Amino acid sequence: MTDHPVTAGKASWSFPKTFWFANASELCERAAYYGTFIALRTYLLRVVGLDDVQAGFVAGLFGALIYLFPFFTGALADRMGFRNSLLLAFGLLAAGYGSLGKFHAFWPVLGALLLIVIGGAFVKPVITGTASKSSNETNRARAFSIFYMIVNIGSFTGKTIVAPIRIQMGVENVPYFSAIAALVGFAVILFTFFPRENDRERPHSISETLRGMLTVMSNARFTALILITAGFWAIQGQLYASMPDYVIRMAGETYKPEWYANVNPLVVVLNVVWVTQFVRAWAPAVAITVAMVLIPLSSLAMATSHLFAGNVNLLGASVHPITLMMVIGIAIQGFAECFLSPKYLEFASKQAPPGREGLYLGYAHMNTFFAWLFGFIFAGYLLKAFCPEPSSLPAAVQAQHTAWLAGQAAMPAAYAHAYYLWYAFAGVGVVSLVAMIVFTAVTRAADARRRKGGLGAAPPGPGGGRTRSSLAPALPRTVY
């Protein structure tokens, strides 16, 4: 570990101390966030008393704003300085998560979630900014590879730890783990993080951010691409939107959907390098289309657990069919992401007018904002219709549900079509796939007409054209 200034030269794995301490705090923030996020819907249902639809709206808005606010907090962080911004961020996070553990009424919970959104929105741009300033052109890819590895380790750790907390202590105590993790992050920043703040770039104003967003979203081609790929992430987002409650209701309280969700980053980390190498010469549209083909297959795999009569003998172990098919479906999602992630930013840059690529890439992840908002709300309606919260049912049905999970009664009629939820999201995937195929054909034809008509340079079509060597590295974006 060194504290040297960033200079150009031979690529190395040596970075300033601020880089490593910033990443240590990032690990704490991601562990805190995903530890609570995967249990949030269950918490809203059982502790706050919301129904499935209401919980979908609240959790969806929470997840979506986490991806929207950094566009604005980034400008504030530049003015405040990275260290002060992170101290404020982790203070807000600790207060927010601690409040979720202590106060369970609706409005205090909304206030606590808002604190978490604001705190998390400061962390995102500051940590990525630190990674950028702590590296140079020769080792920036290595810096971001470490950053994304830390992100995934934090996510994996948080979801692993909260499963036994939820089972043994109750979901109402899960936020306390996140509050402790946030306090550890605060201590890391307070005692170790002293970045050089005298070389800050001119910060963007809020009005500049809004103008940039309006410029990007007024581009019909780019907005269409964002909405199409949002269908992919809406399905992947079911790891947090519907899968946890679905597993608990269909398999039992002792099952660990938090651990199932960890299959996704594991598959991405194991496969993204060789898949990226495999598709390096592919047109971006082709790789993205492959991902769009795979993502509805993941939902179809999850839907098939009802076809099994009982537990499955897998290498001598008795495995619940819900467990088996969830793991298979989540693994397919992770594999699909390996095709999408390396090519999406490249594809997005080609939809931008010449000279505006940087602006457009800054807003390329707005697809996650729309995906979380739609995916959670849609999941709430589907769960209420086909896989309802047991406590919302008559006492006799609740008793039958408990006996069914214990193998002592027939499945209640209210759960007979629970798997329809996954068919619905498979439908979302099919619609996104068709839209992607149409989008590719339409934009390719439009660009060909412009070139033939000599109307000047158009953004190259999805099948080829200019490349950008300065694009962000092709690394997993699963959990950030």
Give the C-alpha separation, 324 to 333, whole Å.
Answer: 14
Model pLDDT, residue 469: 36
Angle, CA of 36, 38 and 20, to the nearest 5°: 60
Amino acid of residue 119: G
Task: Return residue ranges of the chain for CATH 1.20.1250.20.
Answer: 15-204, 211-480
Grouping H, G, I as helix, E, B as strand and the rest as coil, residue 45 is: helix
Token pair in block for residue 6? 């960033």
Superfamily of domain 15-204: MFS general substrate transporter like domains (1.20.1250.20)
The confidence score (pLDDT) of residue 38 equals: 96
Structure tokens at 71: 């566009």
Other CB atoms closer than 10 Å to residue 202's CB: what's the count? 6
Q: How many CB atoms lie within 10 A of CB 140?
A: 18
Neighbours of 280 (CB within 10 A): 11
Tell me how far apart the alpha carbons of residues 323 and 203 are, in angstroms, rounded to a whole number. Answer: 48
What count of residues does the chain have?
A: 480
53-106 residue pLDDT tens: 999 999 999 999 998 988 888 878 878 888 999 999 999 999 999 999 999 999
Structure token pair of residue 382: 């589907």
Burial category of 367 from C-beta neighbours within 10 Å (exposed 0-12, middle 13-18, buried 19 and up)? buried
Distance CA 300, CA 277 (A): 28
Residues 6 or more apart in contact with residue 274 via CB below 8 angstroms: none
Contact 143, 229 (CB under 8 A): no
Whole-number pLDDT of residue 259: 96
pLDDT tens-digit profile, the chain (480 residues):
445 555 555 666 788 899 999 999 999 999 999 999 999 999 999 999 999 999 999 999 999 999 898 888 887 887 888 899 999 999 999 999 999 999 999 999 999 999 999 999 999 888 888 888 887 777 777 888 788 788 889 999 999 999 999 999 999 999 999 999 999 999 999 999 988 765 555 556 677 778 888 888 888 888 999 999 999 999 999 999 999 999 999 999 999 999 999 999 899 888 888 988 898 888 889 999 999 999 999 999 999 999 998 899 888 889 999 999 999 999 999 999 999 987 887 888 777 777 777 777 778 889 999 999 999 999 999 999 999 999 999 999 999 999 999 999 999 999 999 999 999 999 999 999 999 999 999 988 888 888 887 655 445 444 444 443 334 444 444 444
CA separation for the pair 68, 373 (Å, rounded) = 11
Distance CA 417, CA 459 (A): 47
Q: Specify the fold of 211-480.
A: Growth Hormone; Chain: A; (1.20.1250)
State both tokens at 264.
């996704």
For 65, the token pair is: 């704003």
Phi, psi of 313 (to 5 degrees): -85, 110
Beta pairing partners, 314: 317
Query: What is the dihedral angle through the alpha carbons of 64, 67, 68, 69, rounded to the nearest 10 degrees?
Result: 110
Residue-wise pLDDT for 241-287, tens only, equals: 999 999 999 999 999 999 999 999 899 888 888 988 898 888 889 99
SS3 (DSSP) at 317: strand
Q: Tell me the β-bridge partners of 16.
A: 2
To the question of pTM greater than 0.85 for the whole model, the response is yes
How far is 291 from 339, CA to CA, in rounded Å? Answer: 6
Conformation bin of residue 355: beta by default, left when phi > 0, alpha when psi is -120 to 50? left
Helix, strand and coil content of the chain, in percent to the nearest 5, comes to 75, 0, 25
Residue 121, both tokens: 């929105």
